[in-house]
Structure 1
Amino acid sequence: MTTKPIPKPAAKPEYTVIAGRKLSKGQLAYEQERAKAAGKSLEAWITAKIKAEEAEAQKAKPKPVKKPGLISRLLDKAHKPI
């Protein structure tokens, strides 16, 4: 009888928390390059990125439902039983 070795669980990625965000090593390196290209510190870059995402989320909110027009209301009323 041969015994198979027990597989080791995959190593969990190490995260770094910056400005309330968890970043893996790869994400951290990418964001550092983006910050460097923008001429900002990493902290300032991520803070600006978060603000931009929040502003985008505000724009993406659905518009309020529009009240039906006169013709639609008259047609709905006409289809109701007496």
Structure 2
Amino acid sequence: MVAFPAPIGENMRTFAAVLYREEGMYVAECPEVGTVSRGRTVEEAVANLKEATELYSEEFPPEDGRRPIVTTFEVTEGARA
């Protein structure tokens, strides 16, 4: 994957991507704005998510300072809700 610098005068913002495999594809989600995309590889899924997030952000600019807290937790195998 090749990274290109932002055009002069444009601000860059960092977003989180959560990925998982589903039906032989990688699904990528951006928790800050709710965009979702997919691809055959991790790189393709993230590139597609970046494009989807850029297009979404043009119409609906994200709130400043809104960052999710990402953590993990454990559950007992076979536990029922």
TM-score category, normalised to shorter length: 0.3 to 0.5
- TM-score normalised according to structure 1 size: 0.32
The structure whose RCO (Cα within 8 Å, separation 6+) is larger is: 2
- TM-score normalised according to structure 2 size: 0.32
Which one has a larger percent helix, Structure 1 or Structure 2? 1
